[in-house]
């Protein structure tokens, strides 16, 4: 069964450094998402991406965050200057279409900011 | 703002019994609902989705939707220890957009 893949599985970074989290969505999917989950808390939406542009973003997704689809397969989340509070699991998801279609999640990247 | 509410649990169910997980939602206009299973430290895994009022069955899982009462449930028959996880109820916020997750119900199946 097709799946969403994420790399790396664990990223440890010094505060203030830039990180790039990578995702390969399911190949025929058109909608891409990033979520995060701080330990013990809810899964929170960060951003959705369709047709090479952001379709929606949350209040969390401020100027330090950016997303890109650099080629036909990868979807990346960049955090420009990391803060301690960015430590979380980051999940990439994709769906075949938007709206009511379920989203399929990757295994996540655990980001630890020191 | 749409909200999805779940009892955080833990819900403890003996092995072989039926586990019943419940979820309420605030927006009467919500059209579809997803149940995800999340093991500790892992990602959400889609196990059921339901769009219409009534029941939808898939193996040991049955999702139930009651739009009049704004209530969604998940039944797990013949519960197994491997079903022990947190179950997340979720609904799309708008087209091409985010999923709103509940805080999840922690289910524990005791042998």
What digits encode the pLDDT tens for the residues B78-91? Answer: 999 999 999 999 99
State whether A42 and B45 contact (CB < 8 Å). Answer: no
B58-67 residues labelled b (16+ CB within 10 A) or e (exposed): eeebbbbbeb
Which residues between 50 and 69 in chain B have a beta carbon less than 8 angstroms from any beta carbon of chain A? 51
What digits encode the pLDDT tens for the residues B1-53? Answer: 778 999 888 999 999 999 999 999 998 888 899 999 999 999 999 999 999 99
What digits encode the pLDDT tens for the residues A89-101? Answer: 999 999 987 667 8
Q: Which residue of A has its CA nearest to B99?
A: A45
Q: What is the pLDDT of residue A106?
A: 97
In angstroms, the separation between the Cα of residue B45 and the nearest Cα of chain A is 7
Contact A91, A4 (CB under 8 A): no
Residues 6+ away with beta carbon under 8 Å from B69 = none
- A48 touches B: beta carbon within 8 Å: yes
Taking CB atoms and an 8 Å cutoff, what residues of chain B touch A103?
34, 46, 99
- B42 touches A: beta carbon within 8 Å: yes
| Low-confidence spans in chain A with pLDDT less than 50 | none
- B45 touches A: beta carbon within 8 Å: yes
B6: β partners: B23
Of A42, A99, A100, the CB nearest to B101: A42
Taking CB atoms and an 8 Å cutoff, what residues of chain B touch A50?
96
In angstroms, the separation between the Cα of residue A67 and the nearest Cα of chain B is 15
């Amino acid at each position: 069964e097709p799946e969403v893949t994420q790399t790396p599985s664990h990223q440890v970074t010094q505060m203030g450094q830039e990180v790039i989290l990578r995702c390969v969505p399911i190949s025929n999917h058109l909608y891409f998402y990033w979520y995060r989950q701080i330990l013990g808390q809810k899964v929170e939406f960060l951003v959705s991406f369709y047709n090479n542009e952001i379709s929606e973003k949350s209040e969390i997704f401020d100027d330090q965050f950016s997303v890109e689809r650099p080629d036909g397969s990868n979807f990346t989340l960049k955090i420009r200057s990391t803060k301690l509070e960015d430590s979380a699991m980051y999940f990439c998801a994709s769906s075949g279409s938007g709206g009511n279609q379920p989203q399929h999640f990757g295994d996540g990247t655990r980001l630890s900011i020191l | 703002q749409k909200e999805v509410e779940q009892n955080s649990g833990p819900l403890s169910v003996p092995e072989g019994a039926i586990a019943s997980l419940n979820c309420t939602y605030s927006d009467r206009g919500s059209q579809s609902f997803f149940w995800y299973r999340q093991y500790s430290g892992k990602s959400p895994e889609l196990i059921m989705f339901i769009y219409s009022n009534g029941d939808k069955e898939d193996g040991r899982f049955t999702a139930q939707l009651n739009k009049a009462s704004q209530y969604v449930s998940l039944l797990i028959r013949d519960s197994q220890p491997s079903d022990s996880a947190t179950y997340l109820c979720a609904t799309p916020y708008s087209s091409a957009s985010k999923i709103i997750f509940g805080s999840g119900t922690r289910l524990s199946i005791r042998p």
